[in-house]
Structure 1
Amino acid sequence: MASVLLISLLAVCLALSLAYRIYQTHALRLKAQKHGCQPAPRYKHKDPIFGLDILIRTGDAMTKNQVLAEHQQRYDTYGHTFEALNFGSQAIYSIHPENLRAVWSKNAADWGIQPLRLHNMEPFCGVGFITVDGPEWKASHALLKPGFHKSNISDFSPLEKHLRIMLDRIPKDGTKFDLQEWIFKLYLDMNTLFLFGEPIGMLSASPPPHAEGFLDAFQEGFNGCGMRIALGPLKVLLPKAGWLRACAKTHKFADVYVHRALAYREKYLYAGAEEVPVKQRTLLYNMAQQTGNRTVLRNQIVQAMMAATETTASLVSTVIHVLATHPSVFAKLRTEILAVGDEALDFDRLGRIKYLQNVITETLRLYPVFPQNIRVALKDTVLPTGGGPDGTSPIFAPTGTLFDTCFATLHRDKKIWGPDAEEFRPDRWDAGFSPSQYEFMPFGAGLRQCLAQQKATMETSYIVARMLQEFKEIRSEDDRPWQAKVALTAKNANGCLVSLVQAT
């Protein structure tokens, strides 16, 4: 009897869900007609009520490091813009530049991230530039922006010091090894140095006592945020106690540096210090000049750590990978680097080495560090194109619509990049070739464009140039293609397996 009642109850629930879905579709159709909109092509769901099948396929693809290939296949099947279900609500997938312009710039106030992120991430990283929209986002952005001024990111001497430690420890006798692991260690030290004023000690294998267990806790907290966003209403199925302990441990680590920054703030503001000491020109100390709110500082610094995790390190590793697998590009770039001679590889000089910048830009095109991005409609709004039989009509996006784009697919669109869009060809950036801001988006666009863009590209320039000074050959020791392992960022799931031949 109980089983019969349960089956009957499930049947009623499904019937009600289907009826609501039919009603919702009809209501949306009327609103769309009012705005002169037409629907985009529809993803062929096996689950027409909640759309769980597309979420399951995405999850499976992620576990196999095939999620970008899965996105590419969907766009190849349905075109530049298509609609789908996301837990029963509307989702629009698009790589059309005009739609990207609308979401990231023209109608940016209609779109945000807070409904998707804040309630899922707040226990870990609180209110900050990654989790909120509107005035709170502007306040967070204003706190962070001074830390990325050229005066705070143009001194490469700390980077050279830590790079030298790495170069002294890696194999240089032709032995095969994974350079990606070392570059990630380098950047764990560099990021904590930039954020807090001291490295975490990954290269030296001597972390400070208060950092014990921090990296594992940070990764667990970070991953927990991603899982909660991905699972949506089903996040209640995730265990919570361990995640909250990881959040608390991360906060305890960050609080050590916040306490120091607040002590500095008191000295700086009330003791009449005329100039900030160089060693204290860190992101946290810059923010402490603007606010003494302990919680605000901790939230911002944890979110800055999230944004810095595996970003520049992924880019550097991938540039080295493509150089190792394209010997002619390596030879041409090394010739250009060596031609600099005894001139210092400073911030301005590196920016003028044209082929170096082409190599980095082409790497960002084919292998963007941020390959995917999502926004949520904060109110009823309209996308300019992608609907109707010919794909040119506007599309109605009601409040709560998920907008999902894939920059990795956008950057391989043959309509923009030509028939050789899949090829790594740095020379394409010469001869006046210049895609629009919404055809090439490695760091996003609009007001929320990545603050660390210049820092990341110039530090990558420095490390690559120094590697080519140090080594006359960087040989690939891996026949496998670059394969994206995607979390918040993308890195090569296969690492960067190389052998090095030192310059004489």
Structure 2
Amino acid sequence: MNQMKYRIEAAQRGCQPAPTLRSNNLLGTSRLTESIRATREDRGPQYVISAMNELGDELGKDVHTMRVPILDYELLVTRDPENVKAMLSTQSQDYDISSTRSNAFMPLLGEGVFTSRGNQWKHSRALVRPQFQRDEVTNLEFIERHVRTLLAVLGNKIGENNWTHRVDLQPLFFYFTLDTATEFLYGQSVGSQASIANGRKTTTGIDGAAFSRNLDAAKHFVDKRGALGKFYWLFPHRRQMNQHCKEIHEVVDGMIQYQLNSKRNPLSSEEKGNRKFVLLDELAKETKDLSELRNETLHTLAAGRDPTASLLGWTFYMLARHPRVFDKLRSLVIEEFGDINSTSHTLDYNRLVKCDYMFHVLHEVLRIVAVIPMNERVALRNTTLPRGGGKDGSYPIYVRKGIQILIPAYAIQHRPDIWGEDVEEFRPERWETHRIGWEWIPFGGGPRKCLGQRFAFTESAYVVARLLQRFDKVENMDPVKEIKLHTAIENRSGTGVKVRLHAAEMEED
């Protein structure tokens, strides 16, 4: 009866069905198991493209939206920018995040801007949004302190002929962004760089290395839990995940309490004038609920640490394999900001954001690897998407209430009909003429667009510039040629970022 009702309503709305990617086994689970296997083999984002191309070959046409039945439910998958625009913007009232996403993240992050919907989401968004519109998010001074620690760690690896030993930059960037994010949020860094370099804990007794390990482990479990979709309850590692989350929460609660207590102590007028911006202090003006403060800051920590670290890692992964791009970018950095010995140039925000080629490089990295490879929405009511139906895919499709739609950013950003036949080539120059639309969504779009976009770009550009001032060459030291997209919510390099760096000559004091 319902099926007849849906068909009638679809016809009334001028809809036609999207093509179906059918299962290869009787249980109807083959596509789910294929996807999980591909993710385990660090080729999850590529699998989506291959599945769509497989269906296209079968139908003799390009397929950009498809229906995927799995057991007793179905998914829609679309790499059509017009459909993305509809879900995230023009028809956003019809779509929201699914319970799958909420259930996956909830043990780690709790209720907050990434996991809530409706009025609870509006409350979380209103609480956090004003803080990312402040000038303090572009303050580079506190970032510089942690950059110096990173440079010191790399300096200790410099050996013969001013070349470093082989180093994996990927974990170093994750420690770095963890330290900057925690200082921005809580007023103190967990000190993971210092903890790794010399085993030191912070003055408040935090083991930054252990905190980093727990965060990594918990996020991997979140990703595995989310991959099971509506069958998340089959996730077998609840006890381990809960233990990692417990240890993370204890550290965060301690930092919150420490900062709130420090705010209660009277300050001299000089200290008040020099007091740095701490996001927690601003949130605490709006709520005193410790659970809410923990959840909202953890949401921001997850968004501020891992995607930026992944972007930095992938940037040097690409620069090590494309010396032309490295040389061009470094020349521009030196011309604009001076080399490691220069004192006549200032690397400040206003000048940094005018370094166009830097941002062309970062945009191209985000396009090639899609740091956040998958987004999703669920239909809140019976509705439509503008394209994907009919023989040529130009008709709207009917979307029943409760249907989940996957948005594979990687697949969108690797469409040759949008990006050109050189779509697989790392070529930052394409951004000299390309105008951003819904085919490039590393930060989402519409009402739920990521609040930290400006902060992420500022931090990434600053770190790249500072490292290029210090090092004048980078060489790839990874023998694996095939790119491995290792997913833990965001994409990391499955083989790390193994390079060696040549230190530029420094003047003697």
What is the TM-score normalised by the length of structure 1? 0.88
- For 1:198 and 1:379, the matched residues in 2 are separated by 45
- For 1:89 and 1:26, the matched residues in 2 are separated by 17
Give 1:344 deviation, angstroms: 0.8
- For 1:150 and 1:336, the matched residues in 2 are separated by 29
- For 1:43 and 1:272, the matched residues in 2 are separated by 67
Matched, 1:64 2:66: no
Distance 1:282 1:92, change over 3 A: same
Contact 1:382 1:394 in 2 (8 A): yes
Match of 2:397 among 380, 384, 395: 395
Matched, 1:440 2:436: no
Unpaired stretches in structure 2, ≥5 consecutive residues:
56-62, 339-343
Q: Tell me the secondary structure at the aligned position of residue 192 of structure 2.
A: coil
- For 2:78 and 2:40, the matched residues in 1 are separated by 23
Contact 1:113 1:376 in 2 (8 A): yes
Aligned to 2:250: 252
Contact 1:114 1:132 in 2 (8 A): no
Q: Deviations over 1:43-85 (max 9, x none)?
A: 0212466x42111111101110011110111222331111112
Aligned to 1:14: none
> Which residue identity lines up with residue 229 of structure 1 in the other structure?
G
Aligned to 1:486: 487
Give 1:347 deviation, angstroms: 0.7
Contact 2:443 2:453 in 1 (8 A): yes
| Structural mapping, 1:272-283, within 5 Å | 279-283=275-279
Match of 1:156 among 140, 148, 154: 140
Give 1:207 deviation, angstroms: 3.0
Match of 1:32 among 10, 14, 18: 10
Aligned to 2:497: 496
Match of 2:318 among 322, 339, 349: 322
Which range moves more in the overlay, 32-41 or 386-395? 32-41
Distance 1:446 1:236, change over 3 A: closer
- For 1:132 and 1:27, the matched residues in 2 are separated by 31
Match of 2:308 among 312, 317, 326: 312
Distance 1:399 1:266, change over 3 A: farther
Which range moves more in the overlay, 469-478 or 212-221? 212-221
Matched, 1:75 2:52: yes
What is the TM-score normalised by the length of structure 2? 0.88
- For 2:274 and 2:54, the matched residues in 1 are separated by 55
Q: Tell me the secondary structure at the aligned position of residue 310 of structure 1.
A: helix
- Paired residues, number: 477
Give 1:348 deviation, angstroms: 1.0
Aligned to 1:12: none
Give 1:121 deviation, angstroms: 3.4
Distance 1:31 1:304, change over 3 A: same
Contact 2:190 2:206 in 1 (8 A): no
Identity %: 30
- For 1:48 and 1:99, the matched residues in 2 are separated by 31
| Structural mapping, 1:2-41, within 5 Å | 26-41=4-19
Q: Deviations over 1:131-182 (max 9, x none)?
A: 0112211211121123323422222122222211221222233222212222
Match of 2:298 among 295, 298, 302: 302
Distance 1:236 1:317, change over 3 A: closer
Distance 1:363 1:225, change over 3 A: closer
Give 1:88 deviation, angstroms: 2.1
Distance 1:220 1:400, change over 3 A: same
Matched, 1:218 2:215: yes
Contact 2:319 2:326 in 1 (8 A): yes
Matched, 1:284 2:280: yes
Q: Tell me the secondary structure at the aligned position of residue 339 of structure 1.
A: helix
Distance 1:351 1:35, change over 3 A: same
Matched, 1:85 2:85: no
> Which residue identity lines up with residue 38 of structure 2 in the other structure?
A
Distance 1:122 1:427, change over 3 A: closer
Distance 1:462 1:488, change over 3 A: same
Distance 1:33 1:447, change over 3 A: same
